[in-house]
Amino acid sequence: MMFVPLTTDILVWLLVAAIAAYFIYVRRQPHLLVPWRRVTQSAYGMSALVVLVVFVTIGLLDSIHYRPALERKAGQGAAYSTEVLSVFDVIASPLRDRRERTYSAPFATRAYTRETLEIQGPDGRVRQVREFPKLRWGGAHLEDETGRGRDILVRAMLGLALGSLVWFVLAGASAWRQAHLSKRRLGGAWRAIWRGETQTPWRAVLITAGVLLALAGPALALCAHYHVLGTDKVGRDVFYLALKSIRTGLIIGTLTTLVLLPLAVALGIMAGYFRGWIDDVIQYLYTTVSSIPGVLLIAAAVLLMQVQLDRHPELFPTSAQRADLRLLFLCLILGLTSWTGLARLLRGESLKLRELEYIQAAQAFGVRDTRIIARHILPNVMHIVLISLVMDFSGLVLAEAVLSYVGVGVDPSMISFGTMINAARLEMSREPIVWWALAAAFAFMFVLVLAANLFADAVRDAFDPRVRVGTLAAA
Amino acid sequence: MIAYIIRRVLYAIPILIGVNLVTFLLFFVVNTPDDMARMQLGVRRVTPEAVEKWKAERGYDKPMLYNGRAEGLARVADTIFYEKSVRLFAFDFGNADDGRSIRHEISTRMWPSLALQLPVFLVGIAVYVTFALLMAFFRATYIDFWGVVLCVAMMSISSLFYIIGGQYLLSKLWNLVPISGYAGGLEALKFLALPVVVGVVSGVGSSSRWYRTLFLEEMGKDYVRTARAKGLAETAVMFRHVLKNGMIPILTGAVAVIPLLFMGALIAESFFGIPGLGSYTIDAIQSQDFSVVRSMVFLGSVLYIAGLLLTDISYTMVDPRVRFE
């Protein structure tokens, strides 16, 4: 086994480390802890967080890549497969390995199209018949296909039972914690949770977790024996594809912000703080960049990158590394085209801040500009940065789908919501229609983006000073 | 006022020059004409002669910035930069890779785009403002709450799904309108109905929610309290005061979009088969026709800047408090 840390993997884990460091820092800063407390007190924010945690866990498991070792031949060194796998692939290997020949509907035991089969009749003659062939894997354990409904029901119930078990453990743990914190008996704590009287909205968290487990339990119990969401044109399990798409969406949403953040923060604050010719130059820069239509600039840059990638095939030992570089480049381009909005906001805020007395006092004391920016301006615009980062995330996930449709998104070999939708588009015109791939992409993407939007709202409500004044006045 | 407008127009010139330089850098320096030729002719097994021929046919065989072999002005004029980039200022876009004049394509294709985008724009504003006003009127009630929930849910659906869903429901299941295609004259109505509906619906989430915030912000202001204190009915407050003042940011924001309506809708046009500028651009991207993409980048920037200009002017006209600096 050889670990292949893809470039995006490294950046993702660095990002995870940075976020962890931020929260350790926040724990020690009471003034930063207060708004985050408010986020954890928002019922919809916490529900969204539960969903996001599940998605992020899948995405992170999918971000540890390696190349499996091939069997060693005598007299040769270790050889490695050209296929790059992730830890998630190993966990989901029952899904990944069970490929059919082509389309099959969810829970089907037979293929979606008729094929010509050769059947040996009772008299020993070989006849050709047009029939729906049996699937290689879907429902292959069934001896009698008529027992399919019962089998599905039994397995789903088993999964549901397993899911409920996990849920009861979670509910017990939260009740125990609540009892511990409020120094009450377990029963009383549980009643408080159930009536929604707790500070942290445990009820919302448990309901969300319950819904997720009720869906995931049966899905997990069934997916080893059936294709729960059907298969696509080349016979890949759609459930697996949808789960793999999560990583691509998350990476586009997070790494892009990593690119735009330093640009927007540095240029925005500099323009607002220094004013004069620096302000003019930076304003000119962001007006120019934002006046070029975003999709076209991205398309142009991606086309150019494709030329460069075609010219240097030797740089990439595996196709996964090539696709990964393309993904990274896409994040870079998206970042370079989308920093202007945040920069404009930060410029306006810095313009306001620099006129405030405490900053003028710092200037009068002869504090250096870099220090004023780092100590006085930056901490006071951080809430804007944070809000705009979480708000941008969902937009970027949606943008990926559109860009992939235009043909300037991720590599066609990379599994993403965009490539799934793109492939499913043609299937809608088939008769009878192949709806499951599109439905799966829709459902997963909708849940991810909705959770991101709700969480962003919770963060904005907690950090935006204007909103806080409003709610206080209302209360 | 006129001096102000002239100054704003003059501001636009350096920005356009910047855009022009960026496109030149992207399309000719990062990616040389040799690369383009190889991409068009196929990366492998391409002879240098074929590359040279391809370049000569399209005028890419000239020097980049300075032609040492020419005389006089031609030293600067007979270059790729002048021929391909500077000429864009005169809206001289040259020819596409298939030999057709880009300017002619743009002038014929912008009308279908406009025919789609203008109704989307007008109907859209009417629908979004109505919905937002409804939510603001019933603020802090269940109507408002579920309205916002609906908005957030609709924001979370990719625009691709609105198009696919609309085509499936209205065209395939209910057979109301054709799935895609276009025709001139009154026939166009039949083909445009679905794209317009899809275009309006896909914007409901984000726009209504944004307008609702604007209206609520307006309702927190002192003059609204005064109006209520005078004993005005809530409807009178809403329609006579809040709506009028809330429309200022909405309309000035909308004005910025008007020039861009000519550019069409990238995705919708190619899904619905409308021969507008959006589908033209997508086709060019997919067939890697750089001269068309370059022209569209420039045209888009010009229209965007025109939109900014219109916004500034409309601000000064609508809101007397804004003064010309």
CB-CB: which of B26, B153, B164 is closest to A428? B164
DSSP state of A2: E
pLDDT at residue A125, as a whole number: 75
Nearest to B199 by CA among B164, B234, B229, B162: B162
Distance from the Cα of B282 to chain A's closest Cα (Å) equals: 6
Of the pLDDT bands very low, low, confident and very high (cuts 50, 70, 90), residue A361 is very high
User: Which of A406, A417, A454 minimises the CB distance to B152?
Assistant: A454
Q: What residues in B contact A303, CB-CB < 8 Å?
A: 31, 285, 288, 290, 293
- Helical (H) or strand (E) element with A370: helix A369-372
Long-range contacts, stretch A158-166, CB < 8 angstroms, 24+ apart: A158/A221, A159/A217, A159/A218, A159/A219, A159/A220, A159/A221, A159/A222, A160/A214, A160/A217, A160/A218, A161/A217, A162/A217, A162/A220, A162/A221, A163/A213, A163/A214, A163/A216, A163/A217, A163/A218, A164/A213, A164/A214, A164/A217, A166/A213, A166/A217
Alpha helices in A126-275 (DSSP H): 148-182, 186-194, 202-223, 238-274
Position A134 scores a pLDDT of: 78
Both tokens of A337, joined, read 């085209």
pLDDT given for residue A471 in this prediction:
42
Work out the average pLDDT over A222-246.
Answer: 86
> Residue A445: its chain B contacts at CB < 8 A?
158
Looking at the whole model, is its pTM more than 0.80?
A: yes
Q: What is the pLDDT of residue A473?
A: 36
Q: How far apart are CA B158 and CA A395, in angstroms?
A: 9
E strand or H helix at A130, and its extent? strand A126-131
Residue A68 vs residue A447, higher pLDDT: A447
B290/A303 Cβ within 8 A: yes
Among all residues of chain B, which has the CA nearest to that of A402? B160
Between chains, do B296 and A296 touch, taking CB under 8 Å as contact? Answer: yes
> How many whole angstroms separate alpha carbon B279 and alpha carbon A214?
44
For B313, other C-beta atoms within 10 Å of its C-beta total: 16
**Residues forming a β-bridge with A120:** A126
Average pLDDT, chain A: 85
CA distances from A229 to A151, A236, B109, B162, B171 (A): 17, 10, 41, 21, 26
A residues 94-113 lying closer than 8 A (beta carbon) to B? none
From residue B118, give the alpha-carbon distance in Å to each of A192, A219, B104, B254, B277. Answer: 55, 46, 22, 12, 14
CB contact under 8 A, A450 and B26: no
Q: pLDDT value at position B89?
A: 76
Instruction: Please report, to the nearest 10 degrees, the dihedral formed by the alpha carbons of residues B254, B257, B262, B263 taken in order.
Output: -140
Is the pLDDT at A451 greater than 50? The verdict is: yes
Asked if residue B128 lies in contact with residue B254, where contact means CB atoms within 8 angstroms, the answer is: no
* Among A232, A210, A175, A266, residue whose Cα is nearest residue A50: A210
Q: Which range (A218-232, A262-276, A456-470) has the least confidence?
A: A456-470
Question: Minimal Cα distance from A405: which residue of B?
Answer: B267
Is the CB of A304 less than 8 angstroms away from the CB of B31?
Answer: yes
Residues in chain B: 325
**Residues of A in Cβ contact (< 8 Å) with B29:** none
For residue B109, the SS3 value is helix
A73 has a pLDDT exceeding 70: no
Name chain A contacts of B19, Cβ cutoff 8 Å: 288, 291-292
- Facing B297 at nearest CB: one of A284, A296, A446: A296
Chain B residues touching A407 at Cβ < 8 A = 282, 285-286
d(CA A475, CA A461): 15
* Per-residue pLDDT, B22: 85
The span from the CA of A195 to the CA of A128, in Å, is 66
| Residue B57: per-residue pLDDT | 74
For position A469, what pLDDT does the model report?
Answer: 43
Give the three-state DSSP class for A164.
helix
Of A220, A124, A210, the residue nearest A167 (C-alpha) = A210
Quickly state the pLDDT bin for A467 (edges 50, 70, 90).
low
Q: How far is A398 from chain B (nearest CA, A)?
A: 6
pLDDT at B325: 52
Nearest by CB: A307 against B35, B260, B301? B35
Cβ-based neighbours of B299, under 8 Å, separated by 6 or more: B106, B263
Chain A residues whose CB is inside 8 A of the B140 CB are 474
* Per-residue pLDDT at A475 exceeds 50: no
Closest C-alpha among A458, A451, A432 to residue A113: A432
Task: Give yes or no for residue A68 having a pLDDT over 90.
Answer: no
Contact A300 B294 (CB under 8 A): yes
- Low-confidence stretches of chain B (pLDDT < 50) are none
Residues of B in contact with A457 (CB under 8 A): 152
DSSP symbols for A82-123: S--EEHHHHHTHHHHH---SS-B-TT-SB-SS-EEEEEE-TT
Q: What is the pLDDT of residues B247-306, one digit of tens each?
A: 888 888 888 888 888 877 888 888 888 888 888 888 888 887 888 888 888 888 888 888
pLDDT in tens, A166-223: 999 999 898 888 888 888 788 888 888 888 778 888 888 999 999 999 999 888 888 8
* Interface contact A417-B157, CB threshold 8 A: no
pLDDT in the model for residue A270: 92
Tokens describing residue A182: 């409020």
User: pLDDT value at position A455?
Assistant: 92
Residues of A in contact with B150 (CB under 8 A): none
d(CA B130, CA B140): 17
Please give the full DSSP string across A391-424, using - where no structure is assigned.
HHHHHHHHHHHHHHHHT-SS-TTS--HHHHHHHH
Mutate to test the interface with A, among B32, B152, B156, B297 (most CBs of A within 10 A): B156
* % pLDDT > 70, chain A: 97
Q: Is A396 on the interface with B (CB under 8 A)?
A: no
- Taking the CA of residue B21 and the nearest CA in chain A, the distance in Å comes to 10
DSSP B11-40: HHHHHHHHHHHHHHIIIIIIS-HHHHHHHH
Strand pairing class (A115-120; A126-131): antiparallel
Share above pLDDT 90 across residues of chain A, in percent, rounded to a whole number:
26
Phi, psi of B99 (to 5 degrees): 90, -5
ipTM of the complex: 0.85
Scanning every residue of chain A, which has its alpha carbon at the shortest distance from the alpha carbon of B36? Answer: A307
User: B301, A457: Cβ pair inside 8 Å?
Assistant: no
A347 compared with A429, residue with greater pLDDT:
A347
- How distant is the Cα of A377 from the closest Cα of chain B, in angstroms? 27
pLDDT for the residue numbered A164: 93
Q: What is the pLDDT of residues A305-319, one digit of tens each?
A: 877 777 777 777 777
Q: Are A334 and A396 in contact (CB under 8 A)?
A: yes
- In the structure, what pLDDT confidence band is assigned to residue A117 with cuts at 50, 70 and 90? confident
Q: With an 8 Å Cβ cutoff, is A307 touching chain B?
A: yes
What mean pLDDT is predicted for residues A240-261?
90
